[in-house]
């Protein structure tokens, strides 16, 4: 009698992103009360986070290959992100305990049941399904990128939310691909090391991959919080109201705040704050939201000012010691 494949979600976090983790875990368990959840520790700073293990019913996956994955990360690091090599730990999911799985960064909310999206990898015969695309965040302009595009590869997908299957890659295969990728390191994004790496691996192997929204349909193309429109709730699901936009009235599955700090005045902050409590109380959520704005008003105003085009130009000119006149 054949055994049913194990299905679940891996996530990566540590104590530095504890507040994000609380919001993530509450949102995940709201829509996925029974789906298996496994933490891949970002690094060794996880004491507070591990205390949540029983409350949110997640396992912890530690693998001897972490050091080998971090070594790959160090090869690609150019000094922009000191913690960059730790991001490579997530790729141990390819030989972890789950047969079909989704990987998620912790700075996001889960607003839907995820099992159908994981099962789509198997049922629709894909190796890998991803979400947002931004090729400039993966490949630099140049000959290598043009070659991939001519061959109908090089989508440039985000590395913080994707679904795949066990044994698609091995650590030995990653190490071999890393050595090959270093030959074109100058044509990979200088900062997003783990993102450039997994895209390179999927493009060069190659694997059969696709975009969740294109393959499944009816869901938003992008999940980044900083997009046009407004998220609203209806009949237990979340949708995007963006009249005239391509994703108008489509379902929101995930919303993420990559690049933001918890103290930033981020888009959809009220929605984010509402998931910081296990039992969501709107008035209390709104109060916490207002408090977070007031306590960070100076930072918000400064960021608003330097985002202005002319002010931003002057700011960076002074910062980089460029002569303006």
Average pLDDT value for residue range 268-282: 78
In this prediction, residue 111 has a pLDDT band, given cuts at 50, 70 and 90, of very high
Of 26-35, 132-141, 166-175, 297-306, minimum mean pLDDT range:
297-306
Backbone angles phi, psi at 256, to 5 degrees: -125, 155
pLDDT digits 0-9 by tens, 79-100: 888 899 999 999 999 999 999 9
pLDDT digits 0-9 by tens, 227-270: 889 999 999 999 999 999 999 999 999 999 988 888 887 888 88
216 burial (CB, 10 Å; 0-12 / 13-18 / 19+) is: middle
Copy the structure tokens of residue 310. 């002319």
More confident residue, 301 or 199: 199
Contact 167, 95 (CB under 8 A): yes
DSSP 9-73: EEEEE-GGGHHHHHHHHHHHHHH-SSSEEEEEESSS--HHHHTTHHHHT-EE---TTHHHHHHHH
Give strand pairing partners of 166.
none
C-beta atoms surrounding 88 within 10 Å: 26
Radius of gyration of the chain (CA): 20
Spell out the domain ranges in the chain: 7-216, 230-319
**Check: CATH 3.90.550.10 for 7-216?**
yes
DSSP SS3 for 272: helix
Backbone angles phi, psi at 34, to 5 degrees: -120, -5
pLDDT digits 0-9 by tens, 298-317: 655 665 565 556 666 676 66
């Amino acid at each position: 009698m054949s055994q049913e494949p194990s299905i679940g979600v891996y996530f990566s976090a540590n104590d530095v992103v504890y507040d994000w983790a609380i919001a993530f875990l509450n949102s995940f368990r709201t829509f996925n009360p029974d789906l298996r959840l496994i933490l891949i520790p970002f690094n060794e700073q996880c004491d507070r986070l591990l205390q949540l293990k029983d409350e949110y019913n997640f396992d912890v996956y530690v693998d001897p290959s972490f050091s080998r994955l971090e070594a790959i990360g160090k090869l690609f690091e150019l000094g922009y992100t000191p913690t960059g090599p730790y991001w490579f730990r997530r790729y141990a999911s390819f030989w972890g305990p789950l047969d079909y799985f989704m990987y998620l960064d912790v700075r996001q909310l889960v607003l839907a049941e995820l099992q159908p999206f994981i099962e789509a990898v198997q049922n629709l015969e894909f190796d890998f399904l991803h979400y947002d695309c931004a090729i400039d965040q993966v490949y630099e302009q140049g000959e290598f990128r043009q070659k991939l595009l001519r061959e109908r590869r090089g989508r440039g997908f985000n590395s913080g939310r994707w679904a795949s299957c066990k044994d698609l890659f091995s650590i030995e295969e990653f190490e071999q691909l890393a050595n090959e990728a270093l030959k074109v390191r100058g044509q990979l994004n200088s900062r997003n090391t783990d993102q450039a790496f997994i895209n390179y691996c999927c493009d060069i192997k190659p694997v059969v991959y696709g975009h969740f929204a294109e393959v499944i349909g009816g869901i938003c193309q992008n999940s980044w919080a900083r997009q046009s429109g407004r998220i609203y709730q209806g009949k237990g699901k979340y949708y995007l109201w963006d009249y005239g936009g391509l994703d108008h009235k489509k379902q929101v599955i995930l919303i993420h705040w990559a690049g933001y700090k918890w103290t930033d005045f981020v888009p959809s902050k009220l929605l984010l704050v509402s998931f910081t409590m296990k039992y969501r109380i709107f008035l209390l959520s709104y109060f916490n939201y207002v408090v977070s704005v007031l306590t960070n008003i100076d930072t918000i105003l400064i960021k608003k000012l330097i985002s202005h085009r002319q002010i931003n130009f002057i700011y960076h000119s002074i910062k980089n010691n460029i002569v303006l006149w």
